Amino acid sequence: MSDSATWTHEGFEMVVGLEVHVELATETKLFSGSPNRFGDDPNTNIDPVSLGLPGALPVLNRQAVELAMRIGLALNCTVQSCTFARKNYFYPDMPKAYQISQYDRPLNIDGHLEIADGIVIGVERAHVEEDTGKSTHIGGSGRIHGSEGSLIDFNRAGVPLVEIVSRPDIRTPEQARQYVNELRAILLEIGASDARMEEGSMRVDANVSVRHPGEEFGTRCEIKNVNSVRSLGRAIDYEARRQVALISDGGVIQQETRHWDEGDGRTHTLRTKEDADDYRYFPDPDLVPLDPGDEWINTVRSQLPMLPAARRIRLAEVTGQSADSEAIATVVERRQDDYVVAVVEIGGGAERVLVHVKEAFSEQGSEPSVPAVDLAALVAMEVGGELTSTQTKTLLGDLVEQGGGDPKAMAAARGFEAMDTSELDGFVDDAIAADPDAWAKFCAGDGKAMGALVGHVMKASRGQADGKAVTAILNSRRG
């Protein structure tokens, strides 16, 4: 059985931990003054430090540390005094042939993240490190093996990263997706990263093993090249099934790094443990220990915005909906909840406001173009019976298109004036006269016949009649 809540396969459960790399949204690189900007011409945002030129020295970027601390605090980590270490390995887009990272003393440790249904995923650490350059392999398959040549863009070299390492607490593909989605929402909320998986500013590797529940952890494989949240679920599911099948056939899982192939939907061996580099970590002698100190930590903590989980709870309270509802999740994900709260504060109609924002503002950002007062006025008209729901939708479309406006004037311009009862009575008379059969059936108790009569009224009133009011008149006439 495998659904969103549980995943078991031939009696095995999956055990998954995620390593998420996020690029920090700093002005400049982690150890130099070159701009941290995606999409510029190759090798324009470089300097002696980014290129690892002889004699160049790193100087730590304070903004990067602050954003990394925000991540740690938002994930309930302990922020501690820490050191930088060198991770040594040769690769053409790794300028110094070592990456400055954190090893035995990371900045953030021992945090957690809560996903749906109160499930808590532990966060082992969230450490600071620098990104590498980017290789483009010319010819062949596009991978380094068999290519004719490689071009290297060092714009990304030295861009600050935080690697967030979860504990192996994830048991289903859905939990993995929820973890990444929630993490992404947090990163966006705290302004630490734009967290775009497709642009590579958020990269997810998964450590997957399987076991019979209650047993020791199995041997894990690390899955790389997962480029979307959807792929993450697929890759984990595939990998866990592969491992179960192998064990069931009497095989043994080898610790290795595997590459997810989006095309064939499988993972493939990238390198085995024997081929793994010995990174020879040691403290980077070019940098001094970093001790953020209580004062800085407390300042950063006090400046943290309301996080998505708290936002969902607040929006649920304001709108009277369940915090788990799709509308709440969607609006908070789009970061439009502040807006909804503001509209509701002006004019009430919370449930309608939530629906309208969810339905009509999907293309809008966290600050919709329609001023809150305008949406509040529209909802007030709707709730007050001045507009039908159809009319409201039409006007909402106009508001979005025009970036706001006075709903009363717009209603008048559209000719959406609420009809008084005598006018409606006239339309109902006409409808009964036009379709006496329907009226007879309706009077005889055929509820479906009412639709035809209402349709007549709507057509005659060019959609301006309030369907509910028409129904009420018909019912009262039938007696």
Partner 1 sequence: MSTFQSARSIAASVSTGESSAVDVVSQHLARIEEREEEVHAFNLVLRDEALQSAERIDERIAAGEQVGPLAGVPIALKDNLCTRGIPTTCSSNILDGWRPPYDATVVSRLADAGAVFVGKTNLDEFAMGSSTENSAFGPTRNPLDTSRVPGGSSGGSAAAVAAGFSAMSLGSDTGGSIRQPAALCGVVGVKPTYGAVSRLGLIAFASSLDQIGPFTHDVADAALLLECMAGHDPGDSTSIPQPFPSLSESLDRGVAGLRIGRIVDLPSGADADVVASVDRAFEVLADAGAEIIDVTIPAFTYGLTAYYLIAPAEASSNLARYDGVRFGSRVEAADTNSMYMATRGEGFGPEVKRRIMLGTYALSAGYYDAYYGKALKVRRLMAQDFATAYESVDALVTPASPSVAFPFGSKTSDPLAMYLCDTYTIPSNLIGHPAMSVPFGAGENDLPIGVQVLAPAMGEPTMFAVAAELERSAGGNHV
Q: How many of the chain's residues bind partner 1 (CB under 8 A)?
A: 30
Q: What minimum distance in Å lies between the beta carbon of 160 and partner 1?
A: 16
Query: Which residue, 102 or 172, has its beta carbon nearer to partner 1?
Result: 102
Q: Does 412 bind partner 1 (CB under 8 A)?
A: no
Query: Which residue, 86 or 312, has its beta carbon nearer to partner 1?
Result: 86
DSSP string, 333-385: HTT-HHHHHHHHHHH--HHHHHHHHHHH-TT--SS-SS-HHHHHHHHHHHHTT
Q: How far apart are CA 191 and CA 360, in angstroms?
A: 25
Q: Does 217 bind partner 1 (CB under 8 A)?
A: no
User: Which residues, 6 or more positions from 469, have their beta carbon under 8 angstroms from its beta carbon?
Assistant: 385, 419, 421, 424
Query: Which residue, 50 or 336, has its beta carbon nearer to partner 1?
Result: 50
Which of these, 165, 176, 33, lies nearest to 106 by C-alpha position?
A: 165
Query: Which residue, 98 or 427, has its beta carbon nearer to partner 1?
Result: 98
Among 288, 306, 413, 472, indicate the residue that binds partner 1 (CB under 8 A): 288
Query: Which residue, 51 or 469, has its beta carbon nearer to partner 1?
Result: 51
Q: Does 291 bind partner 1 (CB under 8 A)?
A: no
Cβ proximity of 343 and 368 under 8 Å? no
Query: Which residue, 14 or 159, has its beta carbon nearer to partner 1?
Result: 159
Residue with tokens 């007062």: 373
Cβ proximity of 30 and 158 under 8 Å? yes
Stretch touching partner 1 by CB under 8 A, among 3-11, 53-61, 185-193, 420-428: 53-61
Beta bridge partners of 162: 22, 128
Residue with tokens 């999907």: 362
Query: Which residue, 57 or 440, has its beta carbon nearer to partner 1?
Result: 57
Q: What minimum distance in Å lies between the beta carbon of 97 and partner 1?
A: 3
Among 21, 96, 171, 456, indicate the residue that binds partner 1 (CB under 8 A): 96
Q: What minimum distance in Å lies between the beta carbon of 51 and partner 1?
A: 6
Alpha-carbon Rg for the chain, nearest whole angstrom, is 30
Q: What minimum distance in Å lies between the beta carbon of 65 and partner 1?
A: 13
CA atoms within 13 A on the CB side of 235: 29
Phi, psi torsion values for 280, nearest 5 degrees = 45, 50
Per-residue contact flags (x/-) with partner 1 for residues 60 to 79, judged by CB under 8 A: x-------------------
Q: Does 52 bind partner 1 (CB under 8 A)?
A: yes
Supply 419's token pair.
């009809």
Q: Does 282 bind partner 1 (CB under 8 A)?
A: yes
Which of these, 291, 258, 251, lies nearest to 275 by C-alpha position?
A: 258
Stretch touching partner 1 by CB under 8 A, among 12-20, 200-208, 278-286, 369-377: 278-286
Q: Does 98 bind partner 1 (CB under 8 A)?
A: yes
Among 69, 115, 152, 378, indicate the residue that binds partner 1 (CB under 8 A): 152
Query: Which residue, 97 or 412, has its beta carbon nearer to partner 1?
Result: 97
Q: Does 51 bind partner 1 (CB under 8 A)?
A: yes
Query: Which residue, 97 or 433, has its beta carbon nearer to partner 1?
Result: 97
Among 286, 359, 429, 446, indicate the residue that binds partner 1 (CB under 8 A): 286
Q: Does 292 bind partner 1 (CB under 8 A)?
A: no
| H-run or E-run covering 114 | strand 108-114
Q: What minimum distance in Å lies between the beta carbon of 93 and partner 1?
A: 9
Among 21, 29, 70, 86, indicate the residue that binds partner 1 (CB under 8 A): 86
58, amino acid identity:
P
Q: Is 288 exposed, middle or buried (0-12, 13-18, 19+ CB in 10 A)?
A: exposed
Q: Which 3 state secondary structure label does DSSP give 78?
A: strand
Query: Which residue, 151 or 310, has its beta carbon nearer to partner 1?
Result: 151
> Percentage helix, strand, coil, to 5, in the chain?
40, 20, 40
Q: Does 57 bind partner 1 (CB under 8 A)?
A: yes
Q: How far apart are CA 184 and CA 178, in angstroms?
A: 10
Q: How far apart are CA 183 and CA 225, in angstroms?
A: 19
> Which residues are at the interface with partner 1 (CB under 8 A)?
48, 51-60, 86, 88, 90, 92, 95-98, 144, 150, 152, 278, 280-282, 285-288
